[in-house]
Amino acid sequence: MNESLTQISVKKINNNKVYACIYREKAISKNMLVNKLNMSLSTVEKNLKALTDAGMIYADGYFESTGGRKAKIYAICQNYRYSIGIAILSNCILISALNLYGDSIANLDVNINFEDTKAYYDNLQTKVIEFISINNLDQDKILGIGIALPMVLNLKTNQVIFSKILVGDSNNIVNNLKVCFKNYQLSFYHDSIAAAFYEHWINKVNTAAVLLLNDHLGGALIINGQVQLGDNYSAGLLEHMQLHHRPTSSCYCGSKGCSECYCAANVIKEKSKTDIDNFFLQMDRNTHYQKIWQTYLQDLALIIKNINRLIDGKIILSGTIAYYIKDNDLNTLLKYINDTNVFYIDRNRIISGSAGAYTQSYGAAICQIKTFLDSFDNELI
C-alpha cells in the first residue's frame, strides 16, 4: 500500500480513537487520553487540536488539582450534529431534535389528524421547517430525519408490509413523505421499532421486550443487545398476540382478542370517555376509573407473563401510559404478574420509560446519531 495512504489512515484511526474516548468518558484530560489509548502525548495533542479546530470538541474548564498543574477537561461538542425525529400518528405529529448524546434539544407536538393529502404534507413540511428555525438548529448540522410510522415496513427498501392505522395507500404515504423531506437524509421506522431503539439506547439492555403503551399498543423485542426485526420485519408484534380465550373485542388487524384490544391507551379513553391526562388526574376520586385501571393492569400483567416465557429478560414499559405509571402501580402490576406465576418476576425486571409520547420520535432520531458515532467506533454505543 502507498505509504502516504497508510499514514492518512493511521491519522484517521487515531483521530477516531481520541474522539470516541472523549465521547465515552464525557470529560477527560490529555494525560488520561494518553494512558487510556496508549498513545504518545504528541499524537494526543495533535488530535485534540484537530478536533477542536473542527468544532467537534472543546476545553471545558479544569479538573481539581491533585498536586501539580490543573489538567484541562476535554468534552465533545454535543451540538456538533443534530438529529430530527418525527412520529406520524393518526391524530398528531411529534417532532424532536436530539444532540449527539441523544438528549432532547427541543420537542413539538402538533394536533392534526393524518390525511394523505397535499395540504397535510405541506403543513407537516412547514411545521418541521419552523421547528428547525425557531430552535436555531443549523441546517448543515442536521444528520438527517427519521420518521416513525404506525406501519410495519422493510427498513432497507421502505416497502410497507402491514398498515391499517393511517388511512390511505401506505406506500404512497411513504413516497409523499420522501418528497416532503427530499433535501434530508431520510429513514423510516415502524414506531414500535423506533421506540425499542430509543429504550435500548437509554437502558443498554441485553434482553428485553418493549411495550409501547400508546393510543395503539406496540411491541418490540431486544435480544443479544439488538432490536429484533425478524426475517420479514414483523418480529415482536406483541400487540397482535391473542390475549384472551373466546374474545369478543375486534382488533384493527382483522383478528379478535389481540393485546391491542385490552392494553391500548384508546381502550382506557373509550371506557372512561375522557383523555389520558384527565383519567390519571381524576383517578384518586373516581372509582369507575380505578376499576378500568385495575383491569388494564391485570391484562398488562398477562401480556408480560406470556412474553417472559419467551424472552426471560427485562420488560420496558414505554410510551404515553408509561409516563403515568407510579411505583404503587408497578407493585400492583407485579402482584398480578406473580400471583399465579411460577417464574417470579421481581421489581428490577420492569423498567419504566421516561420519554412518554416522544419515545418514538426520539427513537426515529437516535438511529442517525448511532450511524454517525459508528463511523468513529462501532462499539461506542
Q: Applying CB under 5 A, which residues contact Zn ion?
A: 240, 251, 253, 255, 258
Min dist CB 236 to Zn ion, Å, is 14
Min dist CB 251 to Zn ion, Å, is 3
CB 210 within 8 A of CB 189: no
Residue closer to Zn ion (CB basis): 40 or 249: 249
Min dist CB 256 to Zn ion, Å, is 8
Exposed, middle or buried, 307 (CB in 10 Å: 0-12/13-18/19+)?
Answer: buried
Residue closer to Zn ion (CB basis): 71 or 241: 241
Quote the CA–CA distance of 257 and 261 in Å, as a whole number: 6
Min dist CB 190 to Zn ion, Å, is 15
CB 363 within 8 A of CB 195: yes
Quote the CA–CA distance of 196 and 205 in Å, as a whole number: 10
Min dist CB 254 to Zn ion, Å, is 7
Q: Count of residues for the chain? A: 381
Quote the CA–CA distance of 241 and 259 in Å, as a whole number: 6
Min dist CB 303 to Zn ion, Å, is 13
Residue closer to Zn ion (CB basis): 30 or 244: 244
Sheet bearing 226-227, strands edge to edge: 226-227, 217-223, 208-213, 314-318, 350-352
User: Which residue bears the cell 435480544?
Assistant: 223
Min dist CB 302 to Zn ion, Å, is 16
Handedness of CA 201, 204, 210, 214 (dihedral sign): negative
Grid coordinates representing 256 are 379478535
- Give the residue among 144, 217, 192, 215 at the shortest CA–CA distance from 363: 192
Min dist CB 295 to Zn ion, Å, is 19
CB 152 within 8 A of CB 234: yes
Residue closer to Zn ion (CB basis): 256 or 269: 256
Quote the CA–CA distance of 175 and 171 in Å, as a whole number: 6
Residue closer to Zn ion (CB basis): 258 or 334: 258
Element (H, E) at 186: strand 186-190
Residue closer to Zn ion (CB basis): 251 or 276: 251
DSSP annotation of 63 reads: P
Residue closer to Zn ion (CB basis): 218 or 353: 218
In the chain, the N- to C-terminal Cα span, in Å, equals 32
Residue closer to Zn ion (CB basis): 106 or 235: 235
Sequence-distant (6+) residues with CB within 8 A of 129 are none
Min dist CB 165 to Zn ion, Å, is 11
- Give the residue among 337, 335, 351, 340 at the shortest CA–CA distance from 308: 337
Q: What are phi and psi of 247, to 5 degrees?
A: -75, 155
Residue closer to Zn ion (CB basis): 218 or 319: 218
